[in-house]
Structures are given as structure tokens and as C-alpha cells.
């Protein structure tokens, strides 16, 4: 079992690249989130967001960089792509999938709604996010607190396996 960070409440499922729970696309959610955070809306940021929005599977920073270079007439270096991914991760807009380290768009603001599990198909590479009721996560937090005297503030959870289509 692998993991990714979160600290929010949600109890329904969706695929990352589909429309989110608000009915908005990842692209729209990302742009509005950047505006809310008072981040500049730059062409390189928009190109990375578009690249992630167009992909149903996780992408490495290198493949994002290559797609941005070929699809857009922009001179964006790899360091900038990493910085953009870091900023999008901090805003809860993308997840880093382990162990590959690839990035996947999230159509829900995970900083607002983090109670989910990423289901990572090890055969086709599809990643789906299912949302859990907060009471389920709370039981884990409580058990950890009781047994380890550790006060959890965030969590991350990723399960690697084989999706229904690949079985």
C-alpha cells in the first residue's frame, strides 16, 4: 500500500480527468484556484494545467515538459515545470502517484476534500479516486492516536492493484 497526503472530507467517487464534483473541468478548477490563491496565471502554468487536464493517466514531469514543448510555442524549462507542479500540489490540484512519482490532476480541491483513496492500476496505469466518509478516516486517526500517541493532521492513501478492466 502506498500513500498520498490529505486533510479533508468527501464521500463520493470520480475519475481525476472527468468533471469534478462541482461539474467544472480540472482546467477551470485549477484556474479559479490559482486566482483565489492570488497566483499569477501565466502561459507556462496554463500549459501544464492543460497537459494534466488532457491526460487520464499520471504523467512524469519529463513527459509533461515534453508535451508542453511540442504542443505549445513556449520556451519553458524543466525546472519551471517542477515548480509549477509543486505549486499545483500545494493547492491540492494534483497528486503525486507513487512509486513512479508521476502527477495526476484532481478535479476536487483536495485541500478542501481529502478523504479519498487513489486506486492505481499497475497494469494499465489508470488511477481513480474514490472518496470515503470522514467517519472511516476518523477511526484510523483515533486508532493511531491511541496506539502510538501520534496526533495525525493529514493523511495520504494509495492502493496499487488491478482495475476491473484489466482483471
Which amino acids are annotated as binding site for Fe cation, given as ranges? 155
* Nine-digit cell string for 129: 479516486
d(CA 151, CA 64): 36
For residue 53, give Cα distances in angstroms to 57, 95, 124, 164: 10, 13, 18, 23
Contact 81, 64 (CB under 8 A): yes
Binding site per annotation, positions: 121, 124, 155, 163, 166
Q: Cite the annotated binding site for Zn(2+) by residue number.
A: 121, 124, 163, 166
Answer yes or no: are the C-beta atoms of 88 and 29 closer than 8 Å. no
Count CA atoms closer than 13 A to 158's CA, side-chain side: 19
DSSP per-residue string spanning 28-86: HHHHHHHHHTT----HHHHHHHHHHHT-SS-B-HHHHHHHHHHHS-----HHHHHHHHH
| Residues 37, 18: Cα–Cα separation, whole Å | 23
Amino acid at each position: 500500500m502506498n500513500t498520498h497526503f490529505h486533510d479533508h472530507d468527501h464521500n463520493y467517487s470520480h475519475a481525476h480527468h472527468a468533471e469534478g464534483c462541482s461539474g467544472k473541468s480540472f482546467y477551470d478548477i485549477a484556474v479559479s484556484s490559482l486566482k483565489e490563491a492570488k497566483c499569477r496565471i501565466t502561459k507556462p502554468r496554463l500549459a501544464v494545467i492543460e497537459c494534466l487536464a488532457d491526460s487520464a493517466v499520471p504523467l512524469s514531469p519529463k513527459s509533461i515538459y515534453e508535451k508542453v514543448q511540442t504542443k505549445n510555442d513556449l520556451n519553458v524549462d524543466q525546472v519551471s515545470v517542477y515548480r509549477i507542479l509543486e505549486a499545483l500540489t500545494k493547492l491540492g490540484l494534483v497528486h503525486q502517484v507513487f512509486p513512479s512519482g508521476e502527477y495526476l490532476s484532481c478535479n476536487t480541491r483536495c485541500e478542501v476534500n481529502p478523504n479519498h483513496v487513489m486506486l492505481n492500476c499497475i497494469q494499465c496505469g489508470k488511477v481513480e479516486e474514490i472518496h470515503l466518509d470522514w467517519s472511516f478516516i476518523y477511526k484510523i486517526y483515533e486508532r493511531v492516536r491511541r496506539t502510538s500517541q501520534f496526533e495525525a493532521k493529514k493523511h495520504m492513501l494509495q492502493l496499487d492493484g488491478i482495475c476491473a478492466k484489466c482483471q
